[in-house]
Amino acid sequence: MQAIEKTATASPKRYSLEEYFDLEEQAEYKSEFHDGEIVAMTGASIDHNRLSRNLIVLLTAALKGKRFEPFIGNMKVWIEKYRKITYPDVLAIDGEPQFYNNRKDTLTNPCLVIEVLSKSTMEDDQTEKFKRYRSLDSLQEYVLVNQYDIEVQLYTRTNEGFWQYRTYESLEDTVRLTSIETDITVAEIYEGIEWETQES
């Protein structure tokens, strides 16, 4: 009988948080930490960047002089329950920042997280990523902005701890962000986005 040769499948290398932070400080690109695995982030389209820019400009102007502070996508968030570190596209905090292990680049207390949907991350943003984010006691709202169509999805935590869902699909709509006591219009969010015209 001929012997069957078996080849072992190498399991991915697992890293400690300290190793991740060391590698991230030296890397030329951003990566997330997923419970021991380091996952490289893909590049973003021009419309993704435009939407993120619009959102941070709107929130910075609206929150000036208030107790809330917005941040763009270079700030990490530590999700302790799932041992994950993510880079939200836009986030805001209520009051003083709280940091993981005194690291000034890794927050633990976002009250608002906004993700711009990309084809490569859309499914995760709408399911598992939301599940992870809502484990944070500080999080009051989670917003998904579609870069391919006019659609803003808003999840708001109620006083009873449930999540209420709303969607906005018209440029005339106004999105009420109760977590930061601010209104922004859908038209402002999508300013500068050039939609492809459909021939009839």
Residue 36 within a domain = no
Residue 112 within a domain = yes
* 2-20 pLDDT, tens digit each: 443 444 455 678 999 999 9
> To the nearest whole number, what is the mean pLDDT of the chain?
90
Please report the pLDDT score of residue 127 as a whole number. 79
The sign of the torsion formed by the CA atoms of 84, 87, 93, 98 equals: positive
| CATH (domain of 68) | 3.90.1570.10
Residue 185 has pLDDT above 60, yes or no: yes
Share of the chain above pLDDT 70, in %: 92
Please report the pLDDT score of residue 126 as a whole number. 80
What does DSSP assign to residue 182? E
Residue 23 within a domain = no
| Spatial distance between the Cα atoms of 92 and 70, rounded to a whole number of angstroms | 4
Please report the pLDDT score of residue 112 as a whole number. 98
Residue 192 has pLDDT above 80, yes or no: yes
| Spatial distance between the Cα atoms of 122 and 69, rounded to a whole number of angstroms | 26
Share of the chain above pLDDT 90, in %: 76
| Spatial distance between the Cα atoms of 126 and 120, rounded to a whole number of angstroms | 12
Residue 37 within a domain = no
Residue 66 within a domain = yes
Residue 8 within a domain = no
Residue 94 within a domain = yes
Please report the pLDDT score of residue 11 as a whole number. 61
* 132-156 pLDDT, tens digit each: 999 999 999 999 999 999 999 999 9
pLDDT band at 197 (very low <50, low <70, confident <90, very high): very low
The residue segments making up the domain with residue 180 are 44-78+86-189
Residue 162 within a domain = yes
| Spatial distance between the Cα atoms of 28 and 180, rounded to a whole number of angstroms | 33
Q: Which residues contact 89 (CB under 8 A, 6 or more apart)?
A: 48, 51, 52, 55, 72, 73, 114, 115, 116
* 41-92 pLDDT, tens digit each: 877 899 999 999 999 999 999 999 999 999 998 899 999 999 999 999 999 9
Higher-pLDDT residue of 2, 125: 125
Number of domains in the chain: 1
